[in-house]
Structure 1
Amino acid sequence: MFLDTPLYRCEALEPDLGCAVSIKLETANPVRSFKARGTELVASRLAERGSRAVVCASAGNLGQALAWSGRGRGLDVTVVASRFATVAKLERIRALGARLELVDGDHERARERAAAIARRDGIRLVEDSLDIETCEGAATIGLELVDSAASFDTVLIALGGGALATGVGHVVKAMAPRAEVICVQPLGAPAMTRSWHRGRVVTTDSADTIADGVAGRCPIPAVLDDLLLVADDAVLVEEASIIAGMRMLLDHAGLVVEPSAALGVAALLEDRDRFAGRHVVTIVCGSNVDVDAYHRWTRAGPLPGS
């Protein structure tokens, strides 16, 4: 149920964006994000080995996916998250049966706490983007892209910890090397993008973006090394463009998406000339959003440039 997600040309978006646009829709599943492609691998392998417990840190989507995958295999799942994470995501983690531990501070603090729990209890720690299963899961999206009948010139990938970008990027570069892999990150959470441009890990003191799913501050060195092999570019986009992208996906594609899922459209809005005449695929990676915040964003004033 997490594989072979829809990939389709969305012509309604094209007049405003100035290029051919296809959507890879990763939200029509029980956890409403691509993350279960990886957690299904994690949970199945743990169950095969007789392991009974697993812990992860999550901004919300990984935690939901691991809770869902673990519940079906009898695993004891603990998710550590910031108490400031999106409430809807936290509630869904609890509803799926995981033990949820909240920490003060941001996602980096949650990562530290999850690692401490794993050491204390001697259980598996799932580190998104670093653990191979999370990247292998994302790589299946790349396989589905290159196996599709339609050729594409560019794929725009939301960049957070890097699992989606590296997983998809490795497949595209191996099987469709002429296609450009471009990663997109919010200007308010630029650590991985800055690291990619400088070729070394760059951390930030804070992250300030509505795109909570990609709001990391401390890139993992091994993940950056991987990203340097497969990404052709990494760009930063403004918050206003992310909101405009969310509104366009609602108005023209009928899709309710979380901010991270609109990063690709935001990149198209900010640099129409760069993508003019191309066939661009954007991966709509999640739709777990706070309803009240979503209404505020999508009902705001005129779109940039209108």
Structure 2
Amino acid sequence: MLTLSAIRDARERVDKVARHTPLERSRTFSEMTGADVHLKLENFQRTGAFKIRGATNRIATLSETDREAGVVTASAGNHAQGVALAAERAGVDATVVMPKFAPVSKVKATRGYGANVRLEGTDYDEAQAYAHELERELGLTYVHAFDDTAVMAGQGTLGLEIVDDCPDLDTVVVPIGGGGLISGVAVAIKEQLDDVRVVGVQAEGAASAPESLRTGERQEIDSVDTIADGIATRSVGEKPFAIMREYVDEVVVVDDREIALALTLLLERSKTLVEGAGAVALAAVLSEAFEYDDDETIVAALCGGNIDLNRLGTVIRRGLVQMGRYLKITINLKDRPGELERVSSIVARTGANVYAVHHDRTSRDVAVNAAELELELETDDAEHAAGIVEELEAEGYNVDILS
């Protein structure tokens, strides 16, 4: 079992490579929730995520024979970069297997740290299976992303930093993918502070932990589907699960809309960029996925900031929809001169800004003497968006809200 002593030993190794990341109180999110919300900004870590901690500790404990042979791992991106950099710093050859659909930015970054990257499988589990084939064929040491005590101890150094920087915390909220981070953090905190609550968070599209904890046995889901690709695993690890059963008080679930909203709010209000997995802890706080008291001191771990720029725009758009700041609608118009101008004048009267217009007279879904108008509008808030729809409907238009 993982111990506080092992985590403290890991800190001596991890501190040579990883940063002690900031922990800051957020006035914005404290006012929004009524709690005393602090953010552990692990998105400022080297490689952009906490994974460098566990990878550094695992590679530092290799035997000389294993160091000479090299290491192999599988990862959707953050662990890949952590292993690549830790191996490069230790002078160890690293092969990293990533899913074919891993974010391009993470693939390039991993290669940039000197690893030999192979793209195999559609998700983490298929990539991992191929990595184990290489382990057997080439005699490499497999560095597991989470199901490894040395890795868990390295991740636990984040918990030591939280205790150092916020000793009066009441609740710590931690994302769960395979469970390596929350198991290390939970041991590091609860072995020092008895009355602290540890809450884990999973994305709805990759939520195996709640049922696993309910039944007392690890459950594996058939597939994963979430914008939080950094925690998109089919099940938690065997070793982390044993720790979670003893040290984690509660596991909650947030959906992609809530994740997108948290990510967008962090970017707009805190000027902080995180990836989907990095936003889930705050999403759980903002959505009140678990109960907390006014003035309760909550630390939300923002575990990573490696979001693909191609995905960022889509996620922000979803967040704006949740905030009522973006409205996409369709209207069926009479196909006659002046109708488009009439709709435009109504929209202008409401104070909305037109982002995009699509006017289609040939759609099979409209009558021969009609046209379909699709509008994308920038709005102030949900109340403003609802007012636009009401104004159009008051003028006799049937409005379908697409998002």
TM-score range, shorter chain: over 0.9
Per mean C-alpha deviation after superposition, the further-off stretch among 3-12 and 202-211 is: 3-12
Residue matched to 2:322: 303
User: Is 2:254–2:289's contact at 8 Å kept on the other side of the alignment?
Assistant: no
1:220, distance to aligned residue in structure 2 (A):
2.6
Instruction: Give RMSD over aligned pairs.
Output: 1.8
Distance 2:166 2:146 in 1: 29
Equivalent residue letter for 2:45: N
User: Is 2:176–2:182's contact at 8 Å kept on the other side of the alignment?
Assistant: yes
User: Is 2:66–2:141's contact at 8 Å kept on the other side of the alignment?
Assistant: no
Quickly say closer, same or farther: Cα 1:298–1:121, change in 2 above 3 A: same
Q: Does 1:9 align with 2:25?
A: yes
Distance 2:130 2:189 in 1: 35
Equivalent residue letter for 2:312: Y
TM-score scaled to structure 1, two decimals? 0.94
Q: Does 1:237 align with 2:260?
A: no
Distance 2:209 2:76 in 1: 16
Distance 2:307 2:166 in 1: 32
Deviations 1:198-243 (A, max 9, x none): 2111111111101001111133333211211110000111110000
User: Is 1:192–1:202's contact at 8 Å kept on the other side of the alignment?
Assistant: yes
Distance 2:300 2:198 in 1: 11
Quickly say closer, same or farther: Cα 1:132–1:222, change in 2 above 3 A: closer
- Equivalent residue pairs, number: 306
Equivalent residue letter for 1:25: L
Distance 1:141 1:45 in 2: 19
User: Is 1:17–1:272's contact at 8 Å kept on the other side of the alignment?
Assistant: no
One of 260, 267, 271 as aligned partner of 1:250: 267
Distance 2:306 2:231 in 1: 13
Residue matched to 1:205: 222
Q: Write out aligned runs for 1:130-145 (5 A).
A: 130-145=147-162
Distance 2:278 2:72 in 1: 25
Distance 1:65 1:193 in 2: 28
Distance 1:45 1:272 in 2: 39
Distance 1:156 1:40 in 2: 24
Residue matched to 2:89: 72
User: Is 2:252–2:290's contact at 8 Å kept on the other side of the alignment?
Assistant: no
Q: Write out aligned runs for 1:54-203 (5 A).
A: 54-203=71-220
Quickly say closer, same or farther: Cα 1:48–1:8, change in 2 above 3 A: farther
User: What fraction of aligned residue pairs are identical, expressed as a percent?
Assistant: 32
One of 302, 306, 310 as aligned partner of 1:292: 310
Select the structure of larger CA radius of gyration: 2
Residue matched to 2:234: 217
Residue matched to 2:277: 260
The structure, 1 or 2, with the larger RCO (C-alpha pairs under 8 Å, 6+ apart) is 1
Quickly say closer, same or farther: Cα 1:215–1:149, change in 2 above 3 A: closer
Residue matched to 1:21: 37
1:49, distance to aligned residue in structure 2 (A):
5.6
Quickly say closer, same or farther: Cα 1:272–1:61, change in 2 above 3 A: closer
Distance 1:140 1:148 in 2: 12
1:152, distance to aligned residue in structure 2 (A):
0.9
Q: Could you list the runs of 5+ residues in structure 1 that have no partner in the other structure?
A: none
Quickly say closer, same or farther: Cα 1:48–1:233, change in 2 above 3 A: same
Distance 2:61 2:220 in 1: 33
Distance 1:120 1:49 in 2: 16
Quickly say closer, same or farther: Cα 1:150–1:224, change in 2 above 3 A: closer
1:169, distance to aligned residue in structure 2 (A):
0.5
1:50, distance to aligned residue in structure 2 (A):
6.3
Q: Could you list the runs of 5+ residues in structure 2 that have no partner in the other structure?
A: 1-16, 325-381, 383-403
Deviations 1:147-205 (A, max 9, x none): 22541110000000011100000112111121110000011111123212221111111
User: Is 2:171–2:297's contact at 8 Å kept on the other side of the alignment?
Assistant: yes
Distance 2:160 2:290 in 1: 29
